[in-house]
Structure 1
């Protein structure tokens, strides 16, 4: 009698492994042929995770590259830690991808096991008619080709699926546990909900409703205490992460949020940002929740089954959070400026939640008798079959994208590693394979890799010249001596400070940001030496240097103003060409700053020296806000093109802590640098 359940369990595991491993083989097989011998990775971001994993394995957790310091740019806190054992076991270089593939398959099988536990009959009417749902549940996991692309991409989505399944099981256990055991089960559910958020930040849209579901099932324990046990781990995680970000980077937000969220861009108006969010939502709805699921009508089957689960008494405490989480995560993703790209990978968590909710709905419907079970089977077949037309396209896209990454990023890494003399540091833009495979230290100009707490992520949002200002702060021996960049992304840097020495161009580009990545040798001779200070200066603000702006409480006009610009012009102290970045202050707008508290000098008269470049006549209004003399109007005549010019404005009474305001009264003021001098 005992052998029958064991045999049935073994058969179920075999039936779950077949679709998971079959789907994996379908994606990896063609990609291996196209990747030129390396393990296929359809996204360069995979190698960013590999970099974090290698650093963790070498004793530098939460660093992209050992020596770069703490980075908040990893999209997942847990996934690199899960990959790190693979690196220690000998899966090095691109072959860490094989370990990631094994981890993905194991994670998907774990998700299938969690689904089986959620769908196990609990006795009562309909138990026999719904037993089949647990056997087809693994098909729900791999039914959507767009999601399969992400499952097997080497990213953290499969790990998220495994954690999601276990979190749902924990919520169910907290619901059914006797009162004596329920607090421990509630805390377990809370810890797994926090792990969800640590794996993908937008999972907060699911974590919060799960905590409410746990509190709703509290029974005699009390809702408040139950809610605390279920939600406090997530709150502590978010608080600790924000505090670490603030301590090590100066930002409460993670670098990915700073770099990618539309809300972080200072230049568009709120209406323009809202329009972009709507565009993202429309694209995600049409491409991820409609086309990928079988078209306008068949795509409604999944949410319909999910709604059935939400209305069912036995499943609603996990189904309602899944539906809220699916659409809530999609709303959060729509705030991401890159949501429509990289094969809609940001929609993957929402698809996972919808598929799990649909499996629960099929089970809930099948329990209502034979006729309802027939309807559930028909809907399940429709939900599983509708997306199948996309398999060929997604498998082909996976292979082509893997070929792109191998042909461009991996090849650039190989060429840089072969250069003699060996480069000391490479400047790149959010490119993971290049430093990981070449072994050359790097600075990520987009800021996701992090570098010693410097705000590269926010600088890259403000503009390329702001990134150069941060590089200017580095010791010359620390500055990158080679670049590996897309020229169209880095105008004003690659063409000004680089000399093209090599390039890698690919055909049939479906994934890389451009078909050609260029290698440059760097020439930073136009940058000022770190710590250089003009004679007679009692304070200065280097406009568009975000660290200097932060130190002086600098405010620029926003939105639709304050754009960062840069130039290399003669006219400095030694007459040599010198780089400086600045901001555009349109007519009628203003900039302001606080005289630095570190500038120790007695209150008294001073001279404000403003650096600008050539242009037509302008007029400025300058005021030291504590000065009773009010605003002084300064007429600035036409300046010669091709060199730096300086505007001098006497101030009657200035001290540390005073606020200086500079308004553009006529024309656009191109503001590059401010010095405060003793007269």
Structure 2
């Protein structure tokens, strides 16, 4: 007796819920035991999303912490907005993770539904189909949860599960645009374009899928015309990217997001192109071996997924979805290989690629199953191999998930608890300095500045400064009003040499055993002492203009250029003598600078608004101790050429000043300083009245 359609649908939903909820229980159960009942989060980045979600719920969207201003550091624009209702419903503190888990399960079930629709006969749910096709739709949910490495990310509390749901709906929209009658096709094409844009808003690497999907929509345009169809499918994504870049530029001074500035290898000014290429190759090798090989069952069995995907790409019915999936999967992998952290955090950046490959493989199994009994048998064998091969990794990934959750609870959550306890004491901290740590400000309730820049702080370029070096971060803190400066640090000492050890006094620490996910096993709490920093707005007498080297705000204002690559490295020191620039005895004063290797140069432009008439001036250059050097100094407009300046050995342990007379300068002139002999340690430049 044939079951009614609604009964079959109900049974299918039950069969989909079992593997999804079973996988969730398999990961969350052991993790809850290791955290002592606190909701598990295997990545501290989860709490960064929670911070953005809380800010959105409190009326500050796209801010990490209310009061810090706009931040482009969130890796997903949409995920915090999806979490914000949970915060409003009462899922506060770490228990927002429970709402995230419920959201993840719902998103994965939605992805299963989308995959089932893609596997239906072309005529839709009511179309006739052979008995050799139906089984693929029934096992479709197994493709979603078959890879333990991907499941780790699905249930981590990050945006990956939401990405999966949007991915599924975008694919269905492309299929609908392909099959819709001409009168409805423009609306369906626009719908596909909007979902592709939502895909990119959820995870920026998805641009590698959104672009091929737009081409697929245009390829199926029929009588509508390819150009107009391509516009409808791609314009939403283009507008999103343009609006996001414009917002970043307006609020942070950077076109790119803070995550790209901080993490992309291309943003690092010091390595050569060849050195960057080597790092990209290392990332690609690690991603291929660990994510596309070991995680899928080994060198040979891992080929089953791309083989099934290739079958789908060759099939006339599925190619317009399968080809973009394969291009998106491998394109995303190439894109994330540019990320300096691609090999870490349990390869979470490879999760979108794995999801795309699994969906393409399911389409390939369905394409084979349509071709008769023998082909269906081959499809079944390949599907079993694809689903069974990764299963050996479940125990390891579940154990890693639990241990990582214990690490985050034992270190980041514990540091948050201790800082919150300090807030109840007589010396309550007003602001904590940390490095890309989400749990500490979210759970402690103490405002924070992220020294790595992903949290954003009033448009200041902390992300780029952190790439240049720790002293450049200190220069930005020096710009803050003393009442704004962090009075507590929660840092890894090995990451923050020259800051934690120079400006901090160790007062507490949290050390964990069996560290598998944190950047170091000990996070230290410091009390801050910024007495070596200059007061904001301090100006030396007689100064016409000045460039504070390694202060990225000042450098940008003066069009400062340093020798890159393999030069211009940021350095810092706290030394006496010349705190006022005059070279006399004074209390120790901090300054950051750059190393200018022999034969290389730095240059800057005199502020066009500088209060100076055309004529002579004196260039004062701050440096520290060292052996004899020689500099070549020139005002590029001055026909007098370059003046050679011999600088004798300077005493160690104090600031020194080099004075160079300039014959003819005016606002807007470009000043060049070359290192002719030895490496010049350049810290500060003043232009003085003669």
Q: Residue 76 of structure 1: CA displacement?
A: 0.2
8 Å CA contact 1:528–1:579 kept in 2: the answer is yes
Query: Compared with structure 1, are the counterparts of its residues 58 and 665 closer, same or farther at alpha carbon in structure 2 (3 Å cutoff)?
Result: same
The C-alpha deviation readout for 1:360-388, integer Å capped at 9, x for no partner, is 00000000001100000000000000000
The C-alpha deviation readout for 1:287-326, integer Å capped at 9, x for no partner, is 0000000000000000000000000000000000000000
SS at match of 2:641: coil
Partner of 1:400: 403
Q: Could you tell me how far apart the structure 1 residues matched to 2:146 and 2:193 are? A: 29
Q: Residue 129 of structure 1: CA displacement?
A: 7.2
8 Å CA contact 2:578–2:656 kept in 1: the answer is no
Q: Could you tell me how far apart the structure 1 residues matched to 2:608 and 2:572 are? A: 28
Q: Could you tell me how far apart the structure 1 residues matched to 2:48 and 2:198 are? A: 20
Tell me, yes or no, if structure 1 residue 454 matches structure 2 residue 460.
yes
SS at match of 1:419: helix
Q: Could you tell me how far apart the structure 2 residues matched to 1:320 and 1:61 are? A: 36
Tell me, yes or no, if structure 1 residue 546 matches structure 2 residue 552.
yes
Q: Residue 35 of structure 1: CA displacement?
A: 1.1
Q: Could you tell me how far apart the structure 2 residues matched to 1:265 and 1:319 are? A: 36
Q: Could you tell me how far apart the structure 2 residues matched to 1:487 and 1:179 are? A: 63
SS at match of 1:132: coil
Q: Residue 415 of structure 1: CA displacement?
A: 0.1
8 Å CA contact 2:121–2:129 kept in 1: the answer is no
Query: Compared with structure 1, are the counterparts of its residues 12 and 573 closer, same or farther at alpha carbon in structure 2 (3 Å cutoff)?
Result: closer
Q: Could you tell me how far apart the structure 2 residues matched to 1:559 and 1:164 are? A: 39
Q: Residue 598 of structure 1: CA displacement?
A: 2.4
Q: Could you tell me how far apart the structure 2 residues matched to 1:660 and 1:549 are? A: 13
Query: Compared with structure 1, are the counterparts of its residues 159 and 568 closer, same or farther at alpha carbon in structure 2 (3 Å cutoff)?
Result: same
Which residue among 175, 178, 181 is the counterpart of 1:175?
178
Normalization by structure 1: what TM-score? 0.98
Partner of 1:24: 24
The gaps in structure 2 that reach 5 residues or longer are 583-587
8 Å CA contact 1:126–1:369 kept in 2: the answer is no
Q: Residue 601 of structure 1: CA displacement?
A: 1.8
8 Å CA contact 2:563–2:602 kept in 1: the answer is yes
Query: Compared with structure 1, are the counterparts of its residues 660 and 392 closer, same or farther at alpha carbon in structure 2 (3 Å cutoff)?
Result: same
Tell me, yes or no, if structure 1 residue 343 matches structure 2 residue 349.
no
8 Å CA contact 2:132–2:370 kept in 1: the answer is no
Query: Compared with structure 1, are the counterparts of its residues 130 and 344 closer, same or farther at alpha carbon in structure 2 (3 Å cutoff)?
Result: farther
Q: Residue 131 of structure 1: CA displacement?
A: 5.7
Q: Could you tell me how far apart the structure 2 residues matched to 1:671 and 1:47 are? A: 40
Q: Could you tell me how far apart the structure 2 residues matched to 1:155 and 1:556 are? A: 38
Q: Could you tell me how far apart the structure 2 residues matched to 1:124 and 1:533 are? A: 74
Normalization by structure 2: what TM-score? 0.97
Q: Residue 599 of structure 1: CA displacement?
A: 1.2
Q: Residue 585 of structure 1: CA displacement?
A: 0.2
Q: Could you tell me how far apart the structure 2 residues matched to 1:308 and 1:35 are? A: 44
The C-alpha deviation readout for 1:481-534, integer Å capped at 9, x for no partner, is 000000000000000000000000000000000000000000000000000000
Q: Could you tell me how far apart the structure 2 residues matched to 1:124 and 1:197 are? A: 28
8 Å CA contact 2:132–2:373 kept in 1: the answer is no
Count the aligned residue pairs: 679
Q: Residue 133 of structure 1: CA displacement?
A: 5.9
The C-alpha deviation readout for 1:660-679, integer Å capped at 9, x for no partner, is 00000000000000000000
With 575-584 and 457-466 compared, the bigger mean Cα shift is at 575-584
Which residue among 196, 206, 211 is the counterpart of 2:199?
196
SS at match of 1:3: coil
With 381-390 and 126-135 compared, the bigger mean Cα shift is at 126-135
The gaps in structure 1 that reach 5 residues or longer are none
Q: Could you tell me how far apart the structure 2 residues matched to 1:253 and 1:125 are? A: 44
Q: Could you tell me how far apart the structure 2 residues matched to 1:501 and 1:401 are? A: 26
SS at match of 1:131: coil
The C-alpha deviation readout for 1:529-567, integer Å capped at 9, x for no partner, is 000000000000000000000000000000000000000
Which residue among 218, 222, 236 is the counterpart of 1:219?
222
With 646-655 and 572-581 compared, the bigger mean Cα shift is at 572-581
8 Å CA contact 1:12–1:135 kept in 2: the answer is no
Q: Residue 132 of structure 1: CA displacement?
A: 6.5
SS at match of 1:620: strand
RMSD of Structure 2 on Structure 1 (CA):
1.6
